[in-house]
Structure 1
């Protein structure tokens, strides 16, 4: 008796592919937050040498606290823009006397704290929400050395719990491990230099915003 072809169950229809996520971050993210890389290799980001300043963890170079803070700020937000997380645009504030500022718009979500302490306020923004660069970084405190305050906040939040410093002590760097990140830091420095060359006016406004933060937090 001929029973015909063997029974084959029907395959369920394929689900359509979801549309691409708008403004998805680019590939090639960093293993450490941008400001943490600046902390580890300040000589790659600032030329503000100061024999009484911040000592690079694994070299003899010492840099000014202000220059290091400004490099942390610019590197963080330039990399966020490079990654498609935010847009950076020049803007103005003030009714009569206009001040140049940097306006940030969040374009994509990401895992909170991925970009470190300097991006902490961007973490909580909704997509499409705007914030001034100054407001994204400033804190409501007064201190003798605001730049050093920010430097230590970057260490405490982004580096102290890593295996790059013995027992989380900033004075005991484990340079064999830290130097593994030098290529990554160099890549970040190239991104920053290219941004500075392409958008010099916006870069200068970012520096001015950073200096206002330091001035307004100084005791």
Structure 2
């Protein structure tokens, strides 16, 4: 078993495209369902330099036991194409411990430029490591990442932003991801224009390999907007609201 590092800016950008979707919270599982507003899914629009480029969609799938622990299950489906530089289609299932909302397991089917791979991440919070099973081109690799606990999955950090964390102006909060640390700080309160009208938000900055800006609903901490700038331009992800199947 060897140590495994997730390579390339393609993976980093895919993570950022997913930043708005799920996260650790000290709330109960019923509050996950409440985020969906009685609907079947939550949907976000992805654009690149003002051009519609895809979507990110989340579904709540209920609960089940994972390694003897009760887990809330969330599925994210992403389909984003940014010029010829980035073409990503993925489906991921995230299992979060209901008592802590730390990740227990992530199952990922990913296609980047037509190359298919399947990745399963198993989080051992007690011993401080993540076991990664990757299958690509018929080859199976089992690897391990060591990290100080608590270990956060980037998909499991932003959507349900930690309610137990006190947001203070200009104070950096540090979170352990499998291969790096993510820093987030609140800059100020802002009014944001959204598809539903003006909404009061917390405006945050993030640093973790790449920089991003994040707007959280002031009342629910639901991510409403994410902006990510890289060499070719700006990616913007905007919350479209809860939706029923078929809408």
Q: TM-score, normalised by structure 2?
A: 0.26
User: Which structure has the greater CA radius of gyration?
Assistant: 1
Please identify which structure carries the higher strand content. Answer: 2
Q: TM-score, normalised by structure 1?
A: 0.28
Which is helix-richer, 1 or 2?
1
